[in-house]
Amino acid sequence: MPIFKYTVANKEGKKLNGTIEVPNEESARSELNNLGFSILNLEQQEFQNPQEQKDLERFVFEALDKHSKEITGTIPFSKEEETYKKLTKEYNLTVTAIWKEGSNEEEISKARIEGTKKFQEALKMEEEAMSKEQKIKTIEEEKHEQFTKAKIENVLVGVNSILQEFDKEFDKTQKMDINKKINKILRIKHSSNLEYILASAEDLLTFLQAQEKVLKEKGLNDKQLELSTKTRELLSNLKKTGSPKTLSDDILKKIESWEEITKNSQNFFVNFIRKILAKIKELLTTPPEIKIIQEQIRVYDSQIFNFIKLYFKESSPEYKMKIKKSIKTIWTTRKNAKKEISRLKKEIRDRKKLETLTLMEESFITSLTKELNALTGWLLAFYIVYYFVAIYINTKDFGLTNVPKSITVYESHTFKYIFAIIFLLHATTSLKVNFFKKNLLASIILIPIFFFTSIIALLNL
């Protein structure tokens, strides 16, 4: 039976090499696809080098694939434990039994009864020995993965846009070759082998760059210039590392990492530092609207640089004039973007000033209302105590020939007016503080109500 040598990528994006013994290539592809692999290379071996198998033993295994289909096969390896690890970790099989090729019925029966208990225990011990840092992805690794996958998506979108734009310029063979490379990236883009995905994306863009010569040979200089600009820009974006571009970005990144590490801490000292860092973060953070324009300016700078290089490479005066015109257009757009940043910065400064003033005004009004509420509350409490004490002294015989006028001051009309106003002021401020603390409309309504009820009270006392 023919033996096929394969190179595949598993679900995690790890590259695997091996051989498979099947009747034909179609069967080999079917078997590998059923195991959930992305086939990168598959070729029939003319002969098997016996030297390669010299130090290896062949093990027979029984397992279940992801569809619970029973699989029986042989695999060359030096140890049973390593065989089990490879089949479970790389081939994603549920292994039920392993024995050496040539074992007798008793040994095979024993292997099936014991199953994979000892292998599972060995693997568990190995996993427990691994540190948390090795098992769990760090925050930085996750960010790097997200950033890389975003770059790959950007490449795919950019290349699809180029294919649509150059549909008439590219012939059938060119399109077929480009689509093959796109399909390869689509197959592996969800794997964790980021380096391999990036290399595949770079290979696609390099191939696209090579099509510039074809366009030039056809006399399509304008299209060649356009393709050159677009592919260079995509390559430049693909090679970005995602590391901080400025000192402020670096500081912000370190602050965010520290915040993530200490997010569960309730220590007083940590909380104090967190507040200071929050202020620093606020000062260094670039508003999103400005950041978008800054990214656009970086793209314009890259385009201008690429056009300048093309200008010195080309010898045709007509072509040089077109490049100069393109540079001028981009430079004008860049200047407008700079002006837009200045306008946005001024607008943000003005908005912050207005917000600060509003907060100060709100703080002053709120503070004044609370103080008035507390003062009128104490005055009302004093009057109630005074009133009951005065009534008690006037109704009891304490042997006083002349009762002091201060004790009967509650009978004064002026005192009654003052009490009524204090009571209404206390009621108004209590409503504001307890029910309408942040409601501006309530403040506007409560003030005239207070004056209106005060006038009614004064007229009726």
Tokens standing for 157? 């979108």
Span 274-329, pLDDT tens digits: 888 887 877 777 777 787 787 778 878 877 887 787 778 766 777 788 788 888 88
pLDDT at 55: 58
Q: Is residue 255 part of a domain?
A: yes
Model pLDDT for residues 211-255, shown as the tens digit of each residue: 888 887 877 777 777 788 788 888 877 877 655 556 677 777 777
Alpha-carbon distances, residue 174 vs 19, 232, 309 (angstroms): 33, 19, 26
- pLDDT (0 to 100) of residue 351: 81
The verdict on residue 353 lying in a domain is no
pLDDT number for residue 135: 46
Does residue 80 share a domain with residue 25? yes
- 């490879």: which residue's tokens? 86
- What tens digit of pLDDT does each residue of 139-195 get? 567 767 777 888 888 888 888 888 888 888 888 888 888 888 888 888 887 777 778
| Residue 357, CA atoms < 13 Å, CB-side half-sphere | 6
Identify whether residues 271 and 232 lie together within a single domain: no
pLDDT of residue 401: 62
Same domain as 267, residue 226 = no
Regarding whether 65 and 38 lie in a shared domain, the answer is: yes
Q: What is the pLDDT of residues 44-85, one digit of tens each?
A: 875 444 444 555 677 888 877 767 677 777 777 777 777 777
* Residue 327 located in a structural domain: no
Residues 395-405: what's their mean pLDDT?
65
Q: Which residue has the higher pLDDT, 42 or 442?
A: 42
Q: Say if 331 falls within a structural domain.
A: no
Q: Is residue 314 part of a domain?
A: no
pLDDT number for residue 361: 54
Residues 122 and 17 both lie in one domain: yes
CA distance 29 to 13: 18
Structural domain total, the chain: 4
- Which of 134, 168, 194 represents a domain boundary (last residue)? 134
Whether 392 is in a domain gets the answer: yes
Predicted model pTM: 0.37
- 168 and 227, same domain (yes or no): yes
- 148 lies in which domain range? 138-243
Provide mean pLDDT across the span 194-201: 84
From 104, 134, 164, give the residue that closes a domain: 134
The answer to whether residue 332 scores a pLDDT higher than 80 is: yes
* Same-domain pairing of 387 and 448: yes
Whether 290 is covered by a domain: the verdict is no
Pick the more confident residue, 154 or 264.
154
Q: 309 in a domain, yes or no?
A: no
Q: Which residue has the higher pLDDT, 82 or 128?
A: 82
Range picked from 262-271, 331-340, 386-395, 434-443 for highest mean pLDDT:
331-340
